[in-house]
Amino acid sequence: MAKLRDLAKVCKSKNAGPFEVTIDVMFETKEIYDKVVKSGVINEQLFASLYGVDAKDVLYTPYPAALALKGTIPRRISSGDVGDTDVYGAQQHAPLLDVEIPM
Amino acid sequence: MPQKQNECRLLSVSSILGYGFPEASLKTGLDRAPHYIGVDGGSTDPGAYYLGSGECLNSRKAMKRDLRLMLLGGVPRKIPIVIGTCGGAGSEPHLQEVAQIAREVAREDGLKFRMALIHADQDRTAVKGWLKDGRISALRNVPELTEAIVERSTKIVGMMGAEPFMRALDGGAQVVLAARASDAASWAACAMRQGMPPAPSWYAGKMLECGTATATPKGHDCLMGTVREGHVEVEPMNPARRCTPLSVATHGLHENASPTLHEEPGGLLDATDCEFNAVSDRAVQVSGMRWKTRPYDVKLEGAELIGYRAITICGTRDPVLISQIDSYLQSVRDDVAMRASNFGVSPEKYHLVFHVYGKDGVMGAAEPIKQFTSHELGIVVEVISPSEEDAKAVLAIARVVVPKVDFPGRLCKSGNMAFPFSPSDISVGPTYKFSVFHVVKTEDPYAMFPTEYEEVH
């Protein structure tokens, strides 16, 4: 097992419009990318459970051209609305870092 | 229409007008004889405040510096200059501010040019009509639009596609300043006007709208995009940066829900089968993108005033208090409610929010770590109320309550909180949220975006 933080080269989040946050995980080599994808650990359900949203509202897309995985989730509070904590959605990636991937 | 050429060279100077770029990069770009020079002017990313208030995202000084260099570079060489989403949010006051800067530069530097202003403000009555006709739909994860929401929105803009830019250039404009536009539209317009197919033209726009975000290291700098029949080439103008196949492919993920499907006015840009190949150690060629024409729709963005905000910042280093922060904050909330009610502001008239840094200030309720170990906590106390006076009054009483409220085992009898500033109360002013984030079907890509021309000298 390895933690995603030790496998990824980039793990970041950002708004995709004011109502969604998109989280990107990128890898250094195709070998690592393939292993992570094949593990099947990362999917809509994982994003749903990490962020407390419905899996049907998650858009998950592996993107081999950039050796990247992308998950887009609805915001609980839209950018800048009362109670929002992150207008740019730039610090919502951390729960992914500790996800364990069988290698 | 210009003659069809075998390539179209597009020089993007930076990510947003006013973010800056090295002059040397612009010079290198100009030496490559670009057909167009441009920059994106804004984004929804910094929040609805700019759309709602009409204030520009970047300072006038920074925008003027960038625009002056672009005009001095482009106008004497007869290279058209194209800017979308002027001023940050691309509503009328933003467009007018950038237009005013362009006129000033022309006067100060003796430049003459024909300028087009493309407007994007949408009338609330018209939007309500579209809603009634069933032409408006919500984007994913956005609540349905209602007449009441439209009514409450202080400002609504439409996001134009490529057509209004093409029309302005065909109208002889050497400088095109547009209000809200799809980030890629200005670039797509330039390339398509020169006879390039939509797929590489729109893809080039995606790459160019963020300056050298496609490069490594990333930064606010000049990027050349060359569009040809079946591909796009991108290269940073600053020798300190390079585009690599991975850096370019990675940019496809930027601020978009899908890495491969990009919805644009009038069609869908599909990057699923894109190939990224290095053509030098600094330039990358992208091919394999597809464009699928779809019924035309225009995105609408609206901002609604949610009230006036007042805040104060404080911190605690008291372990007894930190160990019971939640119940302590509840006591604060109750005490504020009682005291504010005493001067006529009951709890339904305001929102009181505690942002507790060191606990869950960044992720709020979504924070998975419930057992925190911080030795100190920073708290931003926030009050939002429809009345600015009430917001300030409730915040002021909260500032009194926060250091004084009692809790079990309390030793710090003189005050619970360290306040770093005097005065400690900060009135932030009006605050907005995005109320409209929907699309409207239209047959006419121009009707929502009237254009006017002026001779600037």
Average pLDDT score over chain B: 96
Token pair listed for B116: 């087009």
Residue B404 confidence class, pLDDT cut points 50, 70, 90: very high
Tell the burial category of B268 from Cβ atoms under 10 Å away from its Cβ (0-12, 13-18, 19+): middle
Domain that holds residue B402: 305-432
Q: Is residue B151 part of a domain?
A: no
Average pLDDT over every residue of B217-233: 96
* Least CB–CB distance from A66: residue in B250, B384, B432: B250
For residues B408 and B449, state if they share a domain. no
> Is pLDDT above 90 for B45?
no
Q: The tokens 């592996």 sit on which residue?
A: A62
Q: Is residue B146 part of a domain?
A: no
Q: Find the largest Cα–Cα distance for chain A.
A: 44
State the smallest CA–CA distance between residue A75 and chain B in angstroms: 8
> Is pLDDT above 80 for B401?
yes
Tell the burial category of B375 from Cβ atoms under 10 Å away from its Cβ (0-12, 13-18, 19+): exposed
Q: Strand B8-12 relative to strand B36-40: parallel, antiparallel, unpaired?
A: parallel
Mutate to test the interface with A, among B53, B141, B286 (most CBs of A within 10 A): B141
Reduced to 3 states (helix: H, G, I; strand: E, B; else coil), residue B184 is coil
Average pLDDT over every residue of A13-36: 95
Return the number of other C-beta atoms located less than 10 Å from residue B308's C-beta. 21
Closest alpha carbon within chain A to B368: A95
What's the DSSP call for residue B238?
Answer: S
Contact B250 A26 (CB under 8 A): yes
For residues B211 and B91, state if they share a domain. yes
Tell me: the pLDDT tens digits for A37-93?
999 999 999 999 999 999 999 999 999 988 999 999 999 999 999 999 999 999 999
Q: Is residue B33 part of a domain?
A: yes
Reduced to 3 states (helix: H, G, I; strand: E, B; else coil), residue A37 is helix
Tell the burial category of B197 from Cβ atoms under 10 Å away from its Cβ (0-12, 13-18, 19+): middle
Contact A65 B275 (CB under 8 A): yes
CATH of the domain at B368: 3.30.70
Q: Strand B290-293 relative to strand B377-385: parallel, antiparallel, unpaired?
A: unpaired
The closest of B445, B442, B451, B450 to B129, measured between CA atoms, is: B442
How confident is the model at residue B2, as a pLDDT?
63
Q: Is residue B65 part of a domain?
A: yes
For residues B274 and B319, state if they share a domain. no
For residues B84 and B104, state if they share a domain. yes
For residues B276 and B365, state if they share a domain. no
What is the spatial distance between Cα B80 and Cα B169, in angstroms, rounded to a whole number?
Answer: 8
Tell me: the pLDDT tens digits for A93-103?
999 999 999 98
Contact B437 A17 (CB under 8 A): yes
Domain count, chain B: 2
> Is pLDDT above 80 for B377?
yes
Question: A74 contacts in B (CB within 8 Å)?
Answer: 141
Q: ipTM for the complex? A: 0.94
Contacts of B387 (CB under 8 A, 6+ apart): B307, B308, B349
For residues B257 and B363, state if they share a domain. no
What is the spatial distance between Cα B343 and Cα B328, in angstroms, rounded to a whole number?
Answer: 23
Kindly state the percentage of chain B with pLDDT values over 90: 94
For residues B364 and B385, state if they share a domain. yes
How confident is the model at residue B254, as a pLDDT?
80
For residues B292 and B327, state if they share a domain. no
The A-side interface with B (CB below 8 A) comprises 10, 14-20, 22, 24, 26, 50-52, 57, 59, 61, 63, 65-68, 70, 72, 74-83, 85-88, 91-92, 94-95
For residues B67 and B208, state if they share a domain. yes
How confident is the model at residue B3, as a pLDDT?
66
Q: Measured between alpha carbons, how far apart are the two ends of chain B, in Å?
A: 25
How confident is the model at residue B1, as a pLDDT?
58
Contact B44 A18 (CB under 8 A): yes
Contact B49 A91 (CB under 8 A): no
Tell me: the pLDDT tens digits for B144-162?
999 999 999 999 999 999 9
How confident is the model at residue B255, as a pLDDT?
76
> Is pLDDT above 70 for A3?
yes
What's the DSSP call for residue B307?
Answer: E
* Least CB–CB distance from B366: residue in A15, A72, A76: A76
Closest alpha carbon within chain A to B142: A19
* Least CB–CB distance from B253: residue in A51, A70, A86: A70
Q: Is residue B154 part of a domain?
A: no
Return the number of other C-beta atoms located less than 10 Å from residue B290's C-beta. 16
Question: A99 contacts in B (CB within 8 Å)?
Answer: none
Contact A72 B257 (CB under 8 A): yes
The closest of A3, A4, A1, A2 to A69, measured between CA atoms, is: A4
Contact B256 A75 (CB under 8 A): no
Reduced to 3 states (helix: H, G, I; strand: E, B; else coil), residue B100 is helix
Contact A81 B306 (CB under 8 A): yes
Q: Is residue B390 part of a domain?
A: yes
State the smallest CA–CA distance between residue A100 and chain B in angstroms: 16
For residues B447 and B350, state if they share a domain. no
Contact B353 A83 (CB under 8 A): yes
Closest alpha carbon within chain A to B274: A65
For residues B425 and B449, state if they share a domain. no
For residues B335 and B281, state if they share a domain. no
Residue B39 confidence class, pLDDT cut points 50, 70, 90: very high
Helix (H) or strand (E) holding B30: helix B23-31
Residue B414 confidence class, pLDDT cut points 50, 70, 90: very high
Tell me: the pLDDT tens digits for B51-63?
999 999 999 999 9
Q: The tokens 């002889």 sit on which residue?
A: B172
Question: A83 contacts in B (CB within 8 Å)?
Answer: 351, 353, 364
Q: Is residue B220 part of a domain?
A: yes
Give the residue ranges of DSSP H helices in B214-324. Answer: 245-251, 319-322
Q: Is residue B173 part of a domain?
A: yes
